[in-house]
Structure 1
Amino acid sequence: MGPPKTLRTISQEAFDEVVRENVEDLGMDPTEALQDAIETLTLQGVDLSGIVRCVPGEGSARDNPLIQSLERLKQLDGDSKDKISDQFVDEIVVLFDRISDLCGSTQESGNASIALRNGGLELLCSLCYKIPSDCEPAVVSSLKTMVLLLQDLHSTEIFRNSNGPRIVMDILNSGKQNVNILYGGFAVVAAAATANEVVKEVFMEMNIDELILQTLSTYRGDCINSLYDAIRVLLTADDHRVVASQVYGYARRFAKIGIANALVDSLHEGLNSSGLVSACIALRAVSVNDEICKSIAENGGIDAVLRCIDDSGDQGNKMVAKVCCSLLSKLAGSDANKSAIIEKKGLNKLIKLSSRFSDDPSVLQEVMAVVSVLTLRSPENATQAIEAGAGDLAIQAMQKFPSAQQMQRNSCNMIRNLVVRNPENRALLLKTGIEKYIRKAKQNHESCKDAASDALRDLGLDNYL
């Protein structure tokens, strides 16, 4: 496959001229002229994102409220050398909020692209630098607007080249006592670092990990979801331009200074915390090696997760159930933690959870994933899993949800681990008629073929390929 096709660009003036020629030279009515220009240029491979599309006679690009707001902000920015005058702060808030409303209403409007194309992000960075730090409404509004414009690699590179990371870090450091500023600032960090390895690196060079730890320690009982999002993004290798990401090293650095343990403290809030889901996802991102996983367990992480799993089943909260199972699966990668989870009746809690969500294959597949990790290369754990009801879970779920591909695949993987070192478990599972459902999964789902073949082979069956 060759490199992606590069789209051609066009200026606003050139686009408007094409529409005008359709009216004056080809005799089209204004609406038809606009639609024809859009269709023709699109077919020619022209990128029309960020172009204001006006019907001739009904205004021009300059009449667009978004363009007008940006133009006024440019005036204010140009008139301010180092600091926005107090007399213009209220107006700036109104303009920021208007741009936020226009860009955040619907993605289909294309307003975010229009703002980006007309220098909106560079302008925001410049104004953020000049807004007095004690003007909370203006700072919060600017950060909210900035997030809406950080949509892709192009925009995050504009942010980086406009000194955005330093500006946002300065805002965060000077606004440590303000939850609203922290929320907005970390939301910008998460948006700017998404799929951009260089931006992640810049934030790490400015010691954002130390700021994150300080914030977690200060606001232990308060939920700042964007902080958890920032942790997740900074530790996710999502920039496809990069062969070897540095995020593994960042995760180790996060754990070394105490962020993993601070996140464990967040979990102790349980389902009373609105940030529980985000905190679980963030902690999973930090849990990159055996040492960190064991440290999390030693600080009560497994106890907290198992308690949340119990509570999620009691309260019917499937989102919490899924993320807690996903986190437990990561922590169970440590052999020491496997034993701890088993000793704390983790298998029984998982099977109980599966019975509470027996009608939701998305939860069942997460339960199966944890059981698979717990029983990997552990015949003792496989025996206990069968006794807890893992075999019944497999047959009932595969029978009930034949079209749930990931669940079927996870079930095959779990079955394999239950029987590969436990001949006695093979007979028990074969008596349930599990073979038929494994073969159906193999036949019906391409993604299940390898896992199903492995399960059939380790069940001691012929014709498993």
Structure 2
Amino acid sequence: MDSSKKVHISQQAFDSLVRENMEDLGMDPQEALQDAIDTLKLQGVDLSAIIKWAPGVCGANENPVIQALDNLKEIFTRLSSSGFEAITLAKGSDECGFEKFIASAADLEEMVELLGKLHSLCCDEKLGNASIVTRNGGVELLVSICSDLIPEYERPLSSALRTLSSVLHDFQGKEIFRKTDGPKALMDILKKYSQNISILDGGLAVVTAAATGNEILKESFMDLKIDEFLTQLLRSLTNYGMPSLYDAIRALLTADDGRVLASQVYGYARRFAKIGAHSSLLDSLRQERLKSSSLIFAATALRTIAVNDEICRSIAESGGLDVVLQCIDDSGARNDKAVAKACCTLLCKLAGSDSNKSCTIQKGGLNILIKLSSRFSDDPSILLEIMSIVCALSLRSPENASAAIEAGVGDVAIEAMQKFPAAHQMQRQACLMIRNLVARNHENRSILLNNGIETLVRKAKENHESCKDAATAALRDLGLDNYNV
């Protein structure tokens, strides 16, 4: 359910219900607390931001999130009144000035500790601590801290950004971030500290958290020309593997806000491509080829930009197919399933361009995929990705379909369908691939039918509702009269 549409309750109303259970119904504190939680959950009330306490069980003032937040507010108030000024001045022109400087520096150190504690408490979204921070003024406080911290002290700013990224989980927190002009403040910080890797990393994590699942914030960042800034970063940080940079691009270009009917991310991807972000990402892919963690993020970011035929062709013309195929081959040699999946998904996107299909085959793509299927024959999710690529390569291309069968794709499909009968997504993709392999190639029909493909397709159709349409189409294009049975 969209968090903006859930039923909410105040902390005061929750506390009153617990007290009523104890005073009117004679429940002990633990029983009263659990009954209140169960009752409200049955009513569909969102309790994620409620401090669940009862007298004798846990006091609201004992909650570590509230404690950390209150202490952080106190320190920020002190620093705002005189501390920041003391730090910016020369370190003590007199004894009093020096003492103020020492006190403010100590406050900053304590601030770093509290920010780290809040970050740890809010990292796990399931705990609901981020909602407690949001409902108690935490987002506004963190935006203010990030905006007011002085350049000489990067640790508190880096910590504040990292903490803010861990708090921006739900709609309410992101809406507060938007209304407090968070995107503009964040862009100012990123531009000011564009040479500071630690602060950049924290700031980009905030971009990712804010833009994920929120179309309005994606638009806010794009209005601030974040595409130009991120593309410039790609060019200037070619020697650094920055997953946070790649992930920020992915978040901005992924249509993941269920509240909107039509996302603008297609247009945003074209804007990124127009200024050459795809070329810079391809350079990053070359740099990250042997770094698994960064490579996955770089490949995913490039895939989100490859939204049309023109961009896919441009990537290929810049050597993209060679790079991606090499990454896939390397992933097999290193037995790296995560990289294999990410790069196969990217290749599938690139293979959607008609001009890239034959080129992929000419570069030995089918042989690389067959080798990969052999290395990961125990993983249906990777086999699914391989079949998706072959499906794209053979679409409307009988020549490519013949090349695929000659390379051994038919055997891969048969073995996979036999080995993983319960993997419904893979079974469906196998049916789709078979249809493309035989739709315009009657010779392939005979080869696959003689190898027993009909029985496997019919089993997929019978066992999985999600396979029915794809299996029916495959049986029809295999030339079988009773395909609809």
Query: Considering the TM-score relative to the shorter chain, is it more than 0.5?
Result: yes
Match of residue 220 from structure 2: 202
Question: In the superposition, relative to structure 1, how do residues 122 and 207 fare at CA in structure 2: closer, same or farther (>3 Å)?
Answer: same
Amino acid across the alignment from 1:218: S
Does structure 1 retain, via aligned residues, the 8 Å contact 2:410–2:448?
yes
CA distance in 2, matches of 1:83, 1:197: 38
CA distance in 1, matches of 2:254, 2:126: 28
Q: Which is further off, 106-115 or 159-168?
A: 106-115
Gaps of 5+ in 1: none
Does structure 1 retain, via aligned residues, the 8 Å contact 2:373–2:382?
yes
Match of residue 193 from structure 1: 211
Q: For 1:163-188, what per-residue CA distance to the aligned partner results, in whole angstroms no more than 9, with x for missing partners? A: 11111111111111111111111111
Structure 1 position 83, deviation (Å): 7.8
Does structure 2 retain, via aligned residues, the 8 Å contact 1:368–1:414?
yes
Q: For 1:272-308, what per-residue CA distance to the aligned partner results, in whole angstroms no more than 9, with x for missing partners? A: 3531011111000000111111110111110000101
Match of residue 419 from structure 2: 400
Structure 1 position 221, deviation (Å): 2.3
Structure 1 position 54, deviation (Å): 2.0
Decide which of 383, 388, 413 is 2:407's aligned counterpart: 388
Match of residue 287 from structure 1: 306
Amino acid across the alignment from 1:179: I
CA distance in 2, matches of 1:5, 1:152: 8
Amino acid across the alignment from 1:12: Q
Q: For 1:417-444, what per-residue CA distance to the aligned partner results, in whole angstroms no more than 9, with x for missing partners? A: 1111111111111110110000000000
1:362-377 paired onto structure 2 within 5 Å = 362-377=381-396
Match of residue 179 from structure 1: 197
Q: For 1:209-247, what per-residue CA distance to the aligned partner results, in whole angstroms no more than 9, with x for missing partners? A: 111112111211211111111111111111222222211
Decide which of 115, 118, 142 is 1:124's aligned counterpart: 142
Match of residue 96 from structure 2: none
Does structure 2 retain, via aligned residues, the 8 Å contact 1:420–1:459?
yes
User: Is the aligned partner of 1:412 residue 2:431?
Assistant: yes
Amino acid across the alignment from 1:133: P
CA distance in 2, matches of 1:29, 1:332: 65
Does structure 2 retain, via aligned residues, the 8 Å contact 1:83–1:131?
no
Q: For 1:132-188, what per-residue CA distance to the aligned partner results, in whole angstroms no more than 9, with x for missing partners? A: 133111111111111111112222111111111111111111111111111111111
CA distance in 1, matches of 2:71, 2:229: 35
Structure 1 position 10, deviation (Å): 2.9
Structure 1 position 358, deviation (Å): 1.3
Structure 1 position 89, deviation (Å): 1.7
Percent identity for Structure 1 against Structure 2 = 59
Q: TM-score with structure 2 length normalisation?
A: 0.91
Decide which of 447, 450, 473 is 1:431's aligned counterpart: 450
Match of residue 141 from structure 1: 159
Does structure 2 retain, via aligned residues, the 8 Å contact 1:83–1:130?
no
Q: Report SS of the residue matched to 1:34.
A: helix
Question: In the superposition, relative to structure 1, how do residues 211 and 83 fare at CA in structure 2: closer, same or farther (>3 Å)?
Answer: farther
Match of residue 309 from structure 1: 328
Amino acid across the alignment from 1:307: Q
Q: Report SS of the residue matched to 2:290.
A: helix
Match of residue 421 from structure 1: 440
Amino acid across the alignment from 2:260: V
Amino acid across the alignment from 2:418: Q
Does structure 2 retain, via aligned residues, the 8 Å contact 1:100–1:148?
yes
Does structure 1 retain, via aligned residues, the 8 Å contact 2:6–2:45?
yes
CA distance in 2, matches of 1:435, 1:96: 61
Question: In the superposition, relative to structure 1, how do residues 228 and 83 fare at CA in structure 2: closer, same or farther (>3 Å)?
Answer: farther
Q: CA RMSD in A?
A: 2.0
Does structure 1 retain, via aligned residues, the 8 Å contact 2:401–2:437?
yes
Structure 1 position 395, deviation (Å): 1.2
Q: For 1:354-374, what per-residue CA distance to the aligned partner results, in whole angstroms no more than 9, with x for missing partners? A: 111111111111111101110
CA distance in 2, matches of 1:6, 1:198: 17
Amino acid across the alignment from 2:224: M
Match of residue 47 from structure 2: 48
Q: Which is further off, 446-455 or 239-248?
A: 239-248
User: Is the aligned partner of 1:239 residue 2:257?
Assistant: yes
Does structure 2 retain, via aligned residues, the 8 Å contact 1:305–1:324?
yes
CA distance in 2, matches of 1:444, 1:372: 22
1:207-286 paired onto structure 2 within 5 Å = 207-269=225-287, 270-272=289-291, 274-286=293-305
Structure 1 position 411, deviation (Å): 0.9
Q: Report SS of the residue matched to 2:185.
A: helix
Question: In the superposition, relative to structure 1, how do residues 76 and 156 fare at CA in structure 2: closer, same or farther (>3 Å)?
Answer: same
Match of residue 340 from structure 1: 359
Query: Aligned residues, how many?
Result: 463
Does structure 1 retain, via aligned residues, the 8 Å contact 2:133–2:167?
yes
CA distance in 1, matches of 2:327, 2:8: 52
Does structure 2 retain, via aligned residues, the 8 Å contact 1:136–1:181?
yes
Amino acid across the alignment from 1:425: N
CA distance in 1, matches of 2:464, 2:193: 52
Q: For 1:343-362, what per-residue CA distance to the aligned partner results, in whole angstroms no more than 9, with x for missing partners? A: 11111111111111111111
Does structure 1 retain, via aligned residues, the 8 Å contact 2:4–2:172?
no
Gaps of 5+ in 2: 88-103
Does structure 2 retain, via aligned residues, the 8 Å contact 1:297–1:337?
yes
Q: Which is further off, 43-52 or 448-457?
A: 43-52
Q: Report SS of the residue matched to 2:55.
A: coil
Match of residue 20 from structure 2: 21
Match of residue 91 from structure 2: none
Q: Report SS of the residue matched to 2:373.
A: helix
Structure 1 position 15, deviation (Å): 2.3
Q: Report SS of the residue matched to 1:126.
A: helix
CA distance in 1, matches of 2:378, 2:153: 51
Q: Report SS of the residue matched to 2:377.
A: coil
CA distance in 2, matches of 1:279, 1:132: 32
Match of residue 98 from structure 2: none
Q: Report SS of the residue matched to 2:66.
A: helix
Q: Which is further off, 52-61 or 176-185?
A: 52-61
**Consecutive aligned runs of 4 or more in structure 1 exceeding 6 Å deviation:** 2-5
